[in-house]
Chain A
Amino acid sequence: MAFVAAYVVLLVAFGVLPTAYAVYFAFTDAGGKVTGFANFVSTAHDFRFLDAVSHVAVYLLFWLLSLVVFVVALALLLHRLASGSASKALRFLYYIPGALAGAASVLVWLFMLDPTVSPVRSLLGVLGFHTFGEVIAPGNLPLLFTIIAFWTGAGGWIVVMYGALNNIPTDVMEAARIDGAGAWQTAWHVQIPMLRKWIVYMVILAFAGGAQLFVEPQLLSLASVGVAGRDYSLNQLTYDFAFQMNNINGAAAVSVELLVVSVSAAAVFVARSGFFDAE
C-alpha cells in the first residue's frame, strides 16, 4: 500500500534494524564471533553496573510514586474547583515547564539547588544544605532527578487525568452524591477506579522514559566536574562502554537488557489493558 510505504521503510530502518543490530552485537565479540551471554556476564561484572541498576531502580520508584500520587491528587483537586476558568489557568501554569524538557530543565534546577543563587536558599538552609556539594550528595540524587522529571512532566499528565475525570458520566457522579458520598469517598471509590486505565498508561510510559535516564546525571556530572552523576545511569554506562572503552558489544548487551524490560512492559500493556482496542 503506497500510503504506508515510507513509514514502513522508516520503521524498518530506525525501529527494527537497530534492534536487530543491538541483539547481534550483544551476542558476538569484537571479531564478530558468537559468544553467547559473555557480554552480558562481563558487563554485569563491571563494578559500576549494579550501582547503575540500583540508581535507576530507586529513581524509578520515587518518580512513579510521586507521579501517581500527585498527578491524581492534583487532577482531582482541579476537578473540584468551582471556577472553570481558574482550573483552566492552573492547568496551563502546571504545564508550562513542559517547554523546558531536556537539558533546559536540568540547568534550571542546577540553579534552584545551588544555595548561592537559589530563590529557595532559605528553604535549603533549613533542610541543612549550605553548599551545592551538600545538595548533590549521592543519596539525594534520586530525589533530585525525580523533582526535575516531575517538574517538566507532571503538567501534561495532569491535563490527561483531568480529561479522563471529565469523561466519567455525570449520572455516576450524581449517584455517588445522592448516596451521600463525600469528596474523599467519591474520589476513592468512584473516580480513582475509573482512572485506573489512564494511571497504568502513565506508569508504563513514565517507566519507559525513566529507565533511559541520561541527560540529568550527564549534565550534573558536567556541573560538578565529575563528582556527582558520572556513570550514574544505565544509559550513561552504555555510552561509556561504546565511546570511552570501545566496547560496542558490552554497550549493546546493556541496551538489549533495557529493551527487553521496556518492550515486555509495553507488550503486556498493549495486550492486556484494552487501551488500544480502537477497532
Chain B
Amino acid sequence: MPNKSFAVSVAAPHAEGEPSVMSRTHHRAPERRRPRPLRRVAAQLQTGTVLAVFVVFFVLPVLWLVLAATKTDQQLVHDNPLSFGSFHALKANWDALTSFQDDAVMQWLGNSALYAVISLVITLGVAIPAGYALAMTEFRGRHTLLVATLVVMLMPNATLVVPLFLEINAVHLIGTMWSIILPYSFYPFGVYLTYIYFTTAVPKDLLAAARMDGCSEFRVFWHIALPLATPVIALVGFFSFVANWTNYFLPYVMLPESSQMPIQVGVGTLLSNVPSFNPTVGDLAIQRPQLALATLVAITPVLIVFLFAQRFLVSGMLAGATKE
C-alpha cells in the first residue's frame, strides 16, 4: 500500500540530516543576479510548464471531489465539472448520506477514530521506549532486535493478513476491535524513527551524566530523554495515525460487520450501493455526489492532521540536521 512507503519517505531525510531550505536559497542568490540569456528563460519556461502540469495532475482530482459534493447527480453529469453546485444540494447530499443504514457513516467515522486513537496511544507507549533503548542503552540481543525491526519494517504487512486472521481467530478475537488495534500497535517503523532520532540528536554523554548523578534508568528516560523527544513523538504519532486511518485490507478481513467497520471499508460498501456503478441496487441507492461527499468526510481527519503536521514535520527533520 502506498501508505507505508509514503510514511517512510517524508521522515527519511531526517536520518541523513537535511540542511535547511534557508541555506539553499542563500547559496543560490548570486546565481540569480547574473543576466539571463534567452535560452535560460526558455529553459525556465519549460521547467515551469512541467511543474504546472503536475500541479494539475495532483490537485485537480481533489478539487473536483470537493466540488462534486455540492452537486446533484444531474449537475454532476451535465454541469461544468469544475463548477460549484449549491449549498442546498450539499445539505441534501449530507442528509441522504447520514440516513444511509441509520447513520452508518457516522458510526464508521466513530469506529475509525476509536481504532486509530487507541492504536496510536499503544504505539507511542511501545515504540518510543523501545527506540530509545535500542539507541541509548546496551542489552543482550540489541543487535538482533534492531535487524529484526529493519526487516519487518520493509516487509509488506498485507501478506500477513491471512495468517494474522488465523492467529486472531485462534484466540477468539475476530469481530472485536482488538483484532485490528493490536496488529496496528505493532509499528516497527515508529521504533526505527525513534532509534534514528536518539542516535543522531541526543548525545549519550547527557544521559551518562544523569546516571552518574544517581538517576534510575527509568528517571533518565522519563525526565531527560522524553522531553527531548517531542519532535519524534509527533512524527511517529502522525505516521501511525495516517497509516491506521487509511488501512483497508486488515479491517476488511477482521471486521466484516457493518456496525464495526471503519470508514475506509464503509465507503467501499457505499460504492457497491451506487446505481451507476452497480445497476442492481434498489431503492436504498446512494448517488454519486453522496459517495464523493462520503470520500471527503473519510479523508477530512487525515487532511487536517496533514495541515497541522506540516510545521512539525519540517522541524522534526531540521532537529536531526542540527547535530551534524
Which residues of A pack against B, CB within 8 Å? 1-4, 6-8, 10-11, 13-15, 17-19, 21-22, 25, 70, 73-74, 77-78, 80-82, 84, 88, 90, 92-105, 107-112, 114, 116-121, 149, 151-157, 159-160, 163-164, 166-167, 170, 183, 198, 201-202, 204-206, 208-209, 211-212, 214-215, 218-219, 222-225, 235, 238-239, 242-243, 248, 251-252, 255, 258-259, 262-263, 265-267, 269-270, 276, 278-279
Is B5 in contact with A255, judged by CB distance below 8 angstroms? no
Query: Are B264 and A235 closer than 8 Å at their CB atoms?
Result: no
Query: In the bound complex, what is the Cα–Cα distance between A246 and B16 (angstroms)?
Result: 47
Instruction: Report the separation of the CA atoms of residues A223 and B288 in the bound assembly, to the nearest whole angstrom.
Output: 12
> Which residues in window 67-98 of B have CB below 8 A to A?
68, 76-77, 81-82
A267 and B160 contact, CB distance less than 8 A: no
Chain B residues near A109 (CB, 8 Å)?
A: 61
**How many angstroms between the C-alpha atoms of A38 and B47 in the bound complex?**
56
Task: Give the Cβ gap from A223 to chain B, nearest Cβ, in Å.
Answer: 4
A166 near B152: Cβ-Cβ < 8 Å: no
- Give the distance to chain B from A240, nearest Cβ to Cβ, in Å: 11
Q: B18: nearest residue on chain A (CB-CB)?
A: A163
Partner of B81, one of A10, A117, A219: A117
Q: Confirm or deny: B114 has a beta carbon within 8 angstroms of a beta carbon on chain A.
A: no
On whether the beta carbons of B50 and A3 are closer than 8 Å, the reply is: no
Contact B156 A270 (CB under 8 A): no
Query: Is there an interface contact between A156 and B10, defined as CB atoms closer than 8 Å?
Result: yes
Are the CB atoms of A104 and B59 closer together than 8 Å?
no
Evaluate contact between B156 and A103: CB separation under 8 angstroms.
no
Q: Is the CB of B155 within 8 A of A262?
A: yes
Q: Kindly list chain B residues whose C-beta atoms are within 8 Å of the C-beta of A201.
A: 8, 12
* B interface majority secondary structure: helix
Interface size on B, residues (CB 8 A): 118
Pairwise interchain contact B133-A4, C-beta atoms closer than 8 A: yes
Cα–Cα distance between A263 and B246 once the two chains are bound (Å): 24
B242 at the interface (CB under 8 A from A): yes
Asked if B183 CB lies within 8 Å of chain A CBs, one says yes
- Partner pick for A152 among B2, B55, B265, CB 8 A cutoff: B2
New contact pairs (14) apart from A100-B302, A103-B248, A259-B155, CB-CB < 8 Å: A1-B137, A10-B126, A13-B182, A25-B163, A98-B242, A99-B242, A105-B2, A208-B4, A212-B159, A218-B252, A225-B279, A235-B158, A262-B154, A266-B151
Chain B residues near A270 (CB-CB < 8 A): 147, 150-151, 154
Q: Is B284 an interface residue (CB 8 A)?
A: no
* Residue of chain B at shortest CB distance from A266: B154
Assess whether A100 is in contact with B306, with CB atoms less than 8 Å apart.
no
User: Hey, which chain B residues are within 8 Å of A206, CB to CB?
Assistant: 5
Query: Which partner residue on chain B sits nearest A235 by CB separation?
Result: B158
| A107 partner, pick from B44, B221, B252, B295, beta carbons under 8 A | B295
Type the 1/0 row for B132-152, where 1 means its CB is closer than 8 Å to any CB of A: 111001010000010111111
Asked if B188 contacts A3 (CB within 8 A), the reply is no
* Residues in B whose Cβ lies below 8 Å from that of A212: 1, 156-159, 249
Most buried by A among B18, B51, B150, B195: B51
CB distance from B129 to the nearest CB of A (A): 4
Q: Does B105 contact A (CB under 8 A)?
A: no
Please, could you name 29 A-B residue pairs with CB atoms under 8 Å apart, sorted by A? A3-B221, A8-B145, A15-B155, A22-B160, A73-B50, A74-B50, A77-B51, A80-B47, A96-B58, A104-B295, A111-B65, A151-B57, A154-B58, A163-B16, A170-B27, A183-B43, A208-B4, A212-B157, A215-B249, A225-B277, A239-B253, A243-B253, A248-B162, A259-B155, A262-B154, A263-B154, A266-B155, A269-B154, A278-B196
A15 CB contact (under 8 Å) in B10, B68, B148, B299: B148
Question: Contact at A215–B1, with CB atoms within 8 Å?
Answer: yes
Q: Which of B18, B137, B160, B279 has the most CB of A within 10 A?
A: B160
Q: How far is the CA of A270 from the CA of B148 in the complex (A)?
A: 10
Answer whether residue B235 sits at the interface, using C-beta atoms and an 8 A cutoff: no
Report how far A67 CA is from B271 CA in the complex, Å. 29
Which residues of chain B (138-197) have a CB below 8 Å from chain A?
139, 145, 147-152, 154-167, 182-183, 185-186, 188, 191, 195-196
B125 at the A interface (CB under 8 A)? yes
Q: Does B100 sit at the interface, judged by CB under 8 A?
A: no
Contacting A239 at CB < 8 Å: which of B125, B162, B274?
B162
The answer to whether A278 touches B9 (Cβ under 8 A) is no
A183 to B44, CA, bound (A): 11
| Closest beta carbon of chain A to B296's beta carbon, Å | 9
Q: Which residues of A contact B116 (CB under 8 A)?
A: none
Contact B9 A157 (CB under 8 A): yes
Q: Tell whether, in the assembled complex, residue B5 and residue A157 are in contact, meaning their CB atoms are under 8 Å apart.
A: yes
The answer to whether B162 touches A78 (Cβ under 8 A) is: no
Chain A residues, CB < 8 A from B76: 117
* B235–chain A nearest beta-carbon distance, Å: 13
Q: Which chain B residues border A219 with CB–CB below 8 Å?
A: 268, 271
Most chain A CB within 10 A, of B82, B134, B268, is at B268
Contact of A164 among B16, B25, B158, B247 (CB under 8 A): B16
> Please, which residues of chain A bring their CB within 8 A of the CB of B152?
11, 15
